[in-house]
Structure 1
């Protein structure tokens, strides 16, 4: 099966490329637009995506609010739970976490198990709710917040702690950042995004595809949760995320694309473009 990362449809990607070039304007119009980063290393579950305004959301269906007997809904829930458990049991056995630095081994293993369960629910009708529940469990872990941050900030740690599961771990760590932001903890996203931006800006040659995807996911998620209003009322929010006009063109473009995509979930495309431009000081 395919990578679980959100990958927008071709029409959305083409539009966002055009939007970012327009918003970057005269200073970047003469530069060649970089290729849109592909997905991270192959992982065993897909993530369905709408190719319209909900491009940044998981498009798995949700339970109807009304119209179905409670027993039917309960039966659906139970069937999905059984299916997720079957998926979980069919995965490669989880190896014990080793070389986890300052973190307690049992805490890293609890975070790993939560990420594996997120993967087991991937694509099922209640996957959003289950990811939210499991992300909350990670944040309730005494070291969970820091483990998620380290997973996104340090590829070597992600590899040491999660082994071949490191790509999925990074992807689902973004869900932990999303939940923290929902709870009002902006500091986690601001720290991780600004650090990752600095890492990519300092890199030589072509940007790492996996790390680029991490940045896109984090920025889009933060913009989606906070909404356009937060960026209009906090003029320096993009700078706190690490944005600067001195960044390489391709990284500034990632900011534009990702902010537009996140805002587009809750507003129309023209307003999303306008607020993205405002956010980066254009």
Structure 2
């Protein structure tokens, strides 16, 4: 049991980035968390964290051990819940990662309904657009626009997720006209942090990539949209985020003849987790929801 407590302290500290946040999550004191992590490092004769900065950073060894620690804790949880002996039992934890925009666009309601139908299931939902291998990150199900394919991970590609380049009419009225993607280098751009500063476009001549000039970088899509509405520059965002502003005339599309390079929505699950009925059932429902959302126009086409 002591080893499980140490492993849990290590994993939660890695997830939260510091001992104080881990202590709040695990309802104990920072000194207890620190002691457990120190003891675990002593047990394995290695160092898991770089403690030279205010925020703890995993060492390469720590990153490697973290994957195995997550798997051990999940296996223990499955054993305690009886999922190993009774894989058809619909109870136990499910850890999910999905973009906030998709959670707001219907996945959140699906999770509530699933919990109501299966009250013995515990859902942990992480709102994130960041890609990654769900097996290594300890997620049972992951939804996103990750372009990578991973071994021992089942994936179902849904469709391209529409994004749009747009700006406020007031901003466009006072600047030089945008005729080609390369003109963006002369304009302030408002950038979603995970999108980066290299913006890709399709054209009759092939793919075009432009290294834009970001004046605002954030992972808050709503804040980016508000900044664009106020005339601070040009954004590229998911169409559901800017739909209301477009309808109200607060934003207008730009460079419509040059479509942004598509990013595909897909849902992923580690192969081993599909053996658990609770995970397989939720995975299937999420895939059905996303497919239905596509067919019903939740993901409208961008032009």
TM-score range, shorter chain: under 0.3
Larger radius of gyration: 2
TM-score (norm. length: structure 1): 0.27
TM-score (norm. length: structure 2): 0.25
Question: When you count strand as a share of all residues, which structure comes out higher?
Answer: 2
